[in-house]
Amino acid sequence: MDVMPAMRSIWNGAITFGLISIPVRLFTAVEEKSLKFHQLHASDNGRIRYKRVCSLDEEEVPYDEIVKGYEYEKDRYVVFSDEELEKDVEIRPQELTMAKALIDNLTDHFHPDQFTDSYRQRLEAAAEAKIAGQEVAVAPTAEPTQILDLMEALKASVEATKAKRDASEAEAAEPARASG
């Protein structure tokens, strides 16, 4: 029987809107399908490798012997464990309410066929062309879209959610008034 390992977040952080901070964890949800590149030495195509080497004893260090240290003075560190660095955040009820409203407003049905990885497709086509010995041309990029003010967009989004919720509450109350 195959046992799947527990999902671990690949990034922990927070989204901050002014005084509002929403803790976020990022999990891998898709299978890796990108092309993998290696760095090569230009003169002989020898593969470039990276080693974690201690600056004091010139020895290679395995990952399980590496810790995080904060340099508070030149060459003087305080060491932290992973547990000590974990984002214990107290969330105010107002922040939670706004986060839920934002999530409700942005939630929609997922249709994976609407999304394609055009970068990967172009990269694979360019790699195939190079393999076949063809010349590769670079297509011009599209003009960037207009950037919106994030706070104004957030306010409009929350207002739209409130209006939708108020309308649905009014509809739910209408049959109660008619029968009562």
Tens digits of per-residue pLDDT, 110-159? 888 888 888 888 888 888 888 888 776 666 666 666 666 777 778 888 88
pTM over 0.85: no
Is the pLDDT score of 179 beyond 80? no
| Nearest by Cα to 94 from 35, 37, 17, 151 | 17
Q: What is the pLDDT of residues 1-17, one digit of tens each?
A: 455 566 788 899 998 88
| Nearest by Cα to 153 from 115, 100, 105, 110 | 105
Q: What is the pLDDT of residues 18-73, one digit of tens each?
A: 788 889 998 887 777 777 888 888 888 888 888 888 988 989 898 889 889 988 88
CB-based contact 89:25 (threshold 8 Å)? no
Token couple for 35: 């092309």
Instruction: Give the pLDDT of residue 44.
Output: 86
**Reduced to 3 states, what is the DSSP secondary structure of residue 12?**
strand
Tokens 């976020």 correspond to what residue?
Answer: 24
**Reduced to 3 states, what is the DSSP secondary structure of residue 80?**
strand
Q: What is the pLDDT of residues 70-103, one digit of tens each?
A: 888 888 889 988 888 886 888 899 999 999 999 9
Instruction: Give the pLDDT of residue 4.
Output: 57
Instruction: Give the pLDDT of residue 126.
Output: 86
Instruction: Give the pLDDT of residue 100.
Output: 92
